């Protein structure tokens, strides 16, 4: 579970109240060049994977994606020892890879238990996302970053909101359209599953008294995802980030509005922005750059022009939209993804595949 603490103030308040056609999509097969990690498959051995925290929201989703795979083995302690530290430490050290689906403090402690040079750790908490000794688990940052992930033994899984924000902003910074230090605003809406089991149970009450239809939170503008958004967007300055949660289970839309005067170059159009995304994500299996503009995406909109946030539920895919108004010198950049998919469990499995030298799409199609 990666977002429970993020939703804690909202959850407390709620308890009190209640009493596809694309234009930049190629389907390659990704494999790692790491010969040391692929040696296990050549010997017909199965990679051993331990999910530390598999009973949580993210852990359950990770297990669902791995349980039927024939290229790895999930190793799990008996239920009665699932929270026993000595047992967890034993399983961490006999696994080829560990996916940690834990609160921040528990992840920090578990990471310190590794006593070998072989175990790959993939952490789904926020504990290590800006730690220079950990590799940020967003392979779509670029070729060089993907190569880092192939060699890394410590991978920090991105947060759900940052995944969308970074996907929209980093290519523009790399292309020189957005200058470092450009202040941006981002508003985003997530399904209630982002709050973990407690918030899910609240919203799923049979009496329809669980949860509010829509709520804004993080109103003090100090959301725990901001550090990674600041660092990996390449902007180097914190965006004004306003997250929201609504009465649907899974899905997310991240919106970044930009005035053309904020760009680093004159004469920018929506097509220029779209072209940058097309080039950056060419060959990406999981990130799709949708067609330019509203009219070209009518088939993606419901009820005459509404962009639903839950379309990609249970998927590791992410869609990027460019909705420009060149006359008004404005553009709305939108990322749509599943907060529990590309924003959590799907990304963890994708990073696992890369780190172990397995086909990157395994378990994610």
For helices 346-356 and 143-151, the axis angle rounded to 10 degrees is 70
Query: CA–CA separation, 15 vs 10, rounded Å?
Result: 9
Bridging pattern class, strands 240-246 and 185-191? parallel
Query: Scanning the structure block, which residue is given the tokens 């809406």?
Result: 189
Query: CA–CA separation, 80 vs 77, rounded Å?
Result: 8
Tokens found for residue 88 = 């967890």
Query: Scanning the structure block, which residue is given the tokens 């199609």?
Result: 365
Strand, helix or coil at 82? coil
Residue 210 per-residue DSSP state: S
Burial class (CB within 10 angstroms; exposed 0-12, middle 13-18, buried 19+) of 32: buried
Is 160 a residue of the active site?
yes
Query: Scanning the structure block, which residue is given the tokens 């609160």?
Result: 103
CA atoms in the 13 A half-sphere facing the CB of 131: 18
Query: Scanning the structure block, which residue is given the tokens 């230090």?
Result: 181
Given the residues 149, 160, 289, 344, select the one marked as catalytic. 160
Query: CA–CA separation, 59 vs 82, rounded Å?
Result: 13
Active-site positions?
160
């Amino acid at each position: 579970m990666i977002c429970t603490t993020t939703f804690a103030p909202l959850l407390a308040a709620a308890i009190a109240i209640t009493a596809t056609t694309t234009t930049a999509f190629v389907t390659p097969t990704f494999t790692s060049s790491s010969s040391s990690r692929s040696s296990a498959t050549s010997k017909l051995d199965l990679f051993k994977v331990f999910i530390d925290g598999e009973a949580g929201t993210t852990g359950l989703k990770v297990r669902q994606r791995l349980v039927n795979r024939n290229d790895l083995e999930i190793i799990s302690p008996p239920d009665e020892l699932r929270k026993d530290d000595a047992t967890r430490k034993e399983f961490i050290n006999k696994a080829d890879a560990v996916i940690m689906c834990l609160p921040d403090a528990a992840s920090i402690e578990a990471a310190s238990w590794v006593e070998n040079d072989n175990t790959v750790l993939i952490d789904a908490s926020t504990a290590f996302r800006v730690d220079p000794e950990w590799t940020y688990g967003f392979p779509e940052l670029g070729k060089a970053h993907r190569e880092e992930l192939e060699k890394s033994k410590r991978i920090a899984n991105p947060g759900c909101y940052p995944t969308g924000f970074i996907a929209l902003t980093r290519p523009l910074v790399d292309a020189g359209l957005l200058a470092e230090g450009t202040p941006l605003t981002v508003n985003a809406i997530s399904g209630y599953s982002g709050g973990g089991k407690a918030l899910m149970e609240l919203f799923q009450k049979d009496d329809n008294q669980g949860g509010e239809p829509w709520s804004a939170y993080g109103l003090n503008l100090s959301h725990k995802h901001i550090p990674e958004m600041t660092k990996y967007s390449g902007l180097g300055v914190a965006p004004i980030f306003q997250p929201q949660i609504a009465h649907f289970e899974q899905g997310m839309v991240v919106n970044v509005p930009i005035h053309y005067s904020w760009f680093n170059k004159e004469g920018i159009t929506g097509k220029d922005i779209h072209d940058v995304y097309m080039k950056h994500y060419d060959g990406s299996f999981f990130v799709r750059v949708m067609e330019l503009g509203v009219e070209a995406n009518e088939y993606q909109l419901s009820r005459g022009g509404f962009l639903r946030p839950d379309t990609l539920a249970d998927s590791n895919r992410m869609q990027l939209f460019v909705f420009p108004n060149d006359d008004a010198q404005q553009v709305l950049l939108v990322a749509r993804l599943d907060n529990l998919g590309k924003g959590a469990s799907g990304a963890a499995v994708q990073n696992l595949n890369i780190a172990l030298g397995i086909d990157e799409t395994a378990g994610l199609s």
